[in-house]
Amino acid sequence: MKKYKSKSLIAITGANGFVGRALCQELSLRKINHRRIQRKKEDNAFLIDSLEPNTKFSKALIGVDILIHCAGLAHQNKSNSQSNLLYDEVNYKGTVNLAKLASEQGVKRFIFISSIKVNGELSYEIPFKNTDKENPKDPYSISKQKAENELKRIAKYGKMELVIIRPPLIYGPGVKGNFKKLIKIINLGIPLPLKNIKNKKSFIYIGNLIDFIIESIYSPLAAGQTLLISDNVVISSKDLVEKLAFYLNKKIFFFFLPELFLIFVLKILGKKDLIEKLFGNLVIDNHHAYTILNWSPPYTFDEGIKKTIYSKKW
């Protein structure tokens, strides 16, 4: 573990979220000076009402040298029109408002936690690279892309450095969303139709992401970069389930269903989004990110999965 002696003040938005909380905990362990900015009332945290185009951050940003923007909106279950509006207001306009205020306050570096979905939903046969043309497909990823583009403009015409980090699905203690659902399904011993699934997926353990974010705080080479980051493992949905089952100490049963039939059933059930998750490839070429920061993950994939399961926080 590296020892940092910088006296810079680091602020984290969304400090009570999955990534933000883990980041603040690690900063505390390393005795790195930081400030939490969040909506939930907690001791020693700067409170904000929301992340919107008119949110006032001025007091929270006083004296801040580096701002890590983890806050954002995801997993909306509202109608398409409502989701479009909410994602645009929070992830795009809210982020731009924050960045403008940060630049005015003299923040030196803005680290934006974006998403690999800005590259696209599927990587098909070629892994995603940082130089790829952006190809967002849904309101969430479109809002992230719009925010990235405006942040680049603000950085170009101001003095604030910009670092963009695009992770894939993040797992670890306290994981939510589909990863959490998958763990629970396996824990119940429910048979899964994955016997013939041979897709490829990239993930990142929360501990590795946090270590990388901290590295990007201090590395001068991170400035101006778009960094695609993942664990050093590519794994199929079937192999992931087997690994989770191993650490859960559960027997898992796979059965075969023809791919076309399974796709038909999922469409009937209104689970069309699961088709890409089950059959599609989403692989990241992380070579650029590893090289530019001279970084390697402190945790192996197995260690990350083990810590996730044994934490019981799912």
- Phi and psi for 276 in degrees, rounded to 5? -65, -35
CB atoms near residue 268 (< 10 Å): 9
For 51, left (φ over 0), alpha (ψ -120 to 50), or beta? beta
Distance, in Å, from the CA atom of 202 to the CA atom of 281, rounded to the nearest integer, reads: 9
**How far is residue 225's CA from residue 290's CA, in Å, rounded to a whole number?**
12
Alpha-carbon gap, residue 52 to 62, rounded angstroms: 19
C-alpha–C-alpha distance, residues 233 and 284, integer Å: 10
H helix or E strand, kind and range, residue 112: strand 109-113
Q: How far apart are CA 293 and CA 17, in angstroms?
A: 26
Q: Which of 304, 278, 281, 6 has its CA nearest to residue 121? A: 281
Contacts of 188 (CB under 8 A, 6+ apart): none
What is the rounded CA–CA span in Å between residue 146 and residue 112?
12
The residues that are catalytic are 140
What phi-psi label fits residue 284: left (phi over 0), alpha (psi between -120 and 50 degrees) or beta? beta
